[in-house]
Structure 1
Amino acid sequence: MLLLGIDIGTSSVKISIVDAATQQAIVSAQYPETEAPIISLQNGWAEQNPDSWWAYFQQALMQANVSGKYDPKDIAAIGIGYQMHGLVAVNEAQLPLRNSIIWCDSRAVPYGEKAFESIGEEKCLSCLLNSPGNFTAAKLAWLKENEPEIFKQVFKIMLPGDFIAMRLTGDITTTPSALSEGIFWDFKHEEISKDVMQFFGFKNDIIPDCKAVFSTHGFLKEDVAGKLGLKHGIPVSYKAGDQLNNALSLNVMEPGEVAATAGTSGVIYTVADDLVYDKQSRVNSFAHLNYTKDNKRIGVLLCINGTGIMNSWIRKCMGSNKTYSQLNEEAAAIPQGSEGLLVFPFGNGAERMLNNKLPGSSIINIDLNKHTPAHVYRAAQEGIAYAFRYGLDIMRENNIEPKVIRAGKANMFLSDVFVDAFVNITNVPVELYNNDGSVGAALGAGIGAKIFESPKDAFTNMKCVKLVEPNGKKLYEKSYEKWKAELVKNLGE
């Protein structure tokens, strides 16, 4: 029995066909091969066309189908992971009314801050576990005020994964997890937040029907099935934001377990068993995949917007068309600490862990007689690791102390330089696995469709491919302290 996993990323859409018996991918594909564009009409804005995600998914699936490694008719369920916090608004014909305002767009920060103040900080934190900040509810408030003619046509709002599920099934659903990531969910009353909806002037009927994460979110339409070469009527049985989905792919489901990613953005994500929150909302708390009223499972998420995108910018501007592997090799030849060169990766929207400030990216301490592009390659990876350390220290302030971090052997975790810096500056061991988001979404589909008897049964074949432990030396500490001092000065603290 086969499972289809879809990962709607910022830079591409990746799919995997997974054999439920072995829990391994038979084939994976992604589209586009180069990074998908982000539309930025003004500084701090970031948009993508939802129809482009649908087109990318179809291209990726067609690539996998023509591999000949499986029969598409054997796919029994579909799962979707997706970039979090985006706003997709459709009319009654299920057509997008505008581009999606995606996760790293900063325009809605003032709307979230006003709601935080007006609803009350204590009430927001105790009921929503977050400030409305720059999340989906605040983005919808921006739309209501700045594009009122479009807002009047809104039939339903959704997140990127909901949009793809709608295209597949014709049904529009959401989950408590999705509502919590949009800051629409009241954890105290286990319902859509009356405070948020009333403050922003939203009607409840724009929110889709709410279902459990692992449940049937619709069945594949006949015309879509024919176009995709799949069997009509198979369920979409799982949908989750990418960081929750990444946690699933690493079997991070219970309190104390921790996952990390370093793709376009960087994340450390852990599970708690009570309604925890950071008083400054520098880290954020959402309903985890297995959250229920009687079994509280809260995902605590540290997000750094500028991680892999910083590495990508360095490659495009200074890499002379080199591959990431070549950049990693050259970076490895430079001494730890990059001979004083410091890189700050904050140039991809307002950073939550910096109180939604926009310090921008920068490179400082350049010695024109000493530093080479290879120094920049290394300093960028070290700077990203330093950003993780800065954020992890905020999590530690909130009594979160990881003993080990699980990560997929992908993106920046493919670089020995980055892994060495990450492990030694955070002083936390890292377990690396071959799982990724599209595989996790496929396994989630198997859980939702009850192909696996329990979530644990989906990970019986999961194996750590590499354990990296701190070496006990403080080689990065001095460089980090200089980096941190410059950051604090830049933030005006």
Structure 2
Amino acid sequence: MFLGIDLGTSGVKVVLINDAHEVLGTGHAGLTVQSPQPGWSEQDPADWIAATCAAIADLKQPLDKVAGIGLSGQMHGAVCLDSADAVLRAAILWNDGRAADEATALDSDPQFHAITGNIVFAGFTAPKLVWMQRHEPDLFARTRRVLLPKDYLRLWLTGEAISDMSDASGTAWFDPARRDWSDQLLAATGMDRSMMPALAEGSEVAGHLRAERASELGLPAGIPVAGGAGDNAATAIGAGIAGPGPGLISLGTSGVIFAATDRFLPAPETAVHAFCHALPDRWHQMGVMLAAASSLDWWAGITGATPADLLAELDQQPGRPGTISFWPYLSGERTPLNNPAQRAGFTGLSSRTDRPRMTRAVLEGVTLALSENMEALRAAGGGADSLLAMGGGARSDLWLSMLAQATGVPVLRPAGAETGAGFGAARLGLMAATGAGSEVLTTPEIAATFDPDPALVPAWAEGLERLRQQRA
């Protein structure tokens, strides 16, 4: 058996698989996000550990036969540790916008585009540390190591400070073409290599489970822990996406369109992310919006209903975009706007507007933003001929049908789509423990296919153009 641990923003999910990649069980424990000031987003790393223990306990089955562990997690977060590896402050998360000015300054330095192949987004890790230098100099002076969220879990599990190439790619300190830290970029932000974790490919062994942790968790001591992956690369591994062809669309807290490549294809002018994949000699491109399924969760909280209740009120045909528009920029936006100050809102409301029309507008707004991401990937030389849908939002037939019309390609829902990154992490754990390569990454069984309707695709293109005009 192999265990995948996915450290998400809203919770930790664990997935247990066997040698045949069959899911034997899942467990979950929730997390909350603190926002001590507008635009800030933080979590206490101690809560990640508690949630991981609770999620593993939620499996409610013996784990003495587990032979390997894989990790995945939310990207870009800054976990700052002192010389004793004690946490110095709450982790600053991927959707935190406080370092917008610092990101703009770094992005104006040509070496960041040249080396990373990416815009320096406010949510990336490097500008967070520059912000700390300016606003929390005492804490920065005590910082001896910076880890990404999942790699803090690895430190707790194994005692090893190691990251993988896919997660490291999102720091703005990493050279994806060389698959190594950039001493040049570290120096430009007042950092050096000694403050960075070691590096491993996602499918390689990157530490072994300490006896103390094994005893706490009911796992065998000494089993290997894989390098793992950032959440989107792990989700792609779960979907069997290792090279060009089908892509991935993720409807989780954030929204992502992911396309694997066999070479590094940077295009920072498009605001498309160009990162290493979780496998050797593989890379990927990614369009990212910051509030996808979380937009529906936000609307559900406003209305006092559940997302499922809201969706049940809707006509299940995709139709044409309505006259009410929703801008899904609750946390700013990345691709293609690169604007952490962009904000959400409704337009086109009238006295006849009711809750179902506003719910539909939320779905349509997220859908159009993701179609804009697909356009950006195509402009960056990538794209996909179909999209496998993953994440909690993938349970909605209506939403996936809308996405097929808006992107113009078939959207496929795999069986067990909600396992996502945790399943991919478990697969990486299997690969590290057995030495298997990408040949074991079969694509999942498809439970449903949503095809674009040639009569509707132009209407969704018009809807996107209307959104752009309103935004201007």
* Range of TM-score over shorter length: over 0.9
Q: Which residue of 2 aligns with 1:485?
A: 466
Alignment of 1:34-53 (within 5 A): 36-53=31-48
How far off is 1:334 after superposition? 8.2
Equivalent AA in structure 1 for residue 93 of structure 2: I
Unpaired segments of 5 or more residues in structure 1? none
Query: Within the alignment, does 1:59 sit opposite 2:54 as a pair?
Result: yes
Query: Within the alignment, does 1:423 sit opposite 2:404 as a pair?
Result: yes
**CA contact 2:80–2:143 (8 Å) conserved in 1:** yes
How far off is 1:178 after superposition? 2.6
Equivalent AA in structure 2 for residue 259 of structure 1: L
Mean Cα displacement is larger for which, 214-223 or 414-423? 214-223
**CA contact 1:271–1:300 (8 Å) conserved in 2:** yes
1:329 counterpart (312, 325, 339): 312
Q: Which residue of 2 aligns with 1:31?
A: 29
2:184 counterpart (183, 195, 200): 195
Equivalent AA in structure 2 for residue 229 of structure 1: G
1:455 counterpart (423, 428, 438): 438
Q: Which residue of 2 aligns with 1:109?
A: 100
Q: Which residue of 1 aligns with 2:121?
A: 133
Alignment of 1:68-467 (within 5 A): 68=61, 71-118=62-109, 120=110, 123-134=111-122, 135-187=124-176, 190-291=179-280, 295=281, 297-318=282-303, 320-322=304-306, 324-332=307-315, 336-337=319-320, 339-369=322-352, 371-408=353-390, 410-433=391-414, 434-435=416-417, 436-450=420-434, 453-459=436-442, 462-467=444-449
Unpaired segments of 5 or more residues in structure 2? none
How far off is 1:88 after superposition? 0.9
RMSD: 2.0
Output the CA distance in 1 between the equivalents of 2:318 and 2:287: 29
TM-score for both structures, normalised by structure 2 = 0.94
**CA contact 1:342–1:483 (8 Å) conserved in 2:** no
Secondary structure of the residue aligned to 1:163 is helix
Secondary structure of the residue aligned to 1:353 is coil
**CA contact 1:278–1:398 (8 Å) conserved in 2:** yes
How far off is 1:62 after superposition? 0.8
**Alpha-carbon spacing, 1:191–1:285, altered in 2? closer, same or farther (3 Å):** same
**Alpha-carbon spacing, 1:281–1:140, altered in 2? closer, same or farther (3 Å):** farther
**Alpha-carbon spacing, 1:149–1:377, altered in 2? closer, same or farther (3 Å):** same
How far off is 1:454 after superposition? 2.3
> How many residue pairs are counted as aligned between the two chains?
468
Q: Deviations over 1:162-219 (max 9, x none)?
A: 0111111111112333322112122455532133112111122101122222222211
Output the CA distance in 2 between the equivalents of 1:149 and 1:485: 48
Q: Deviations over 1:210-264 (max 9, x none)?
A: 2222222211111111111111111112321000001100111112341110100
**CA contact 2:272–2:380 (8 Å) conserved in 1:** no
**CA contact 1:77–1:237 (8 Å) conserved in 2:** yes
**Alpha-carbon spacing, 1:42–1:487, altered in 2? closer, same or farther (3 Å):** farther
TM-score for both structures, normalised by structure 1 = 0.90
How far off is 1:365 after superposition? 0.8
Output the CA distance in 1 between the equivalents of 2:208 and 2:319: 53
How far off is 1:457 after superposition? 1.9
**Alpha-carbon spacing, 1:390–1:188, altered in 2? closer, same or farther (3 Å):** closer
How far off is 1:45 after superposition? 1.3
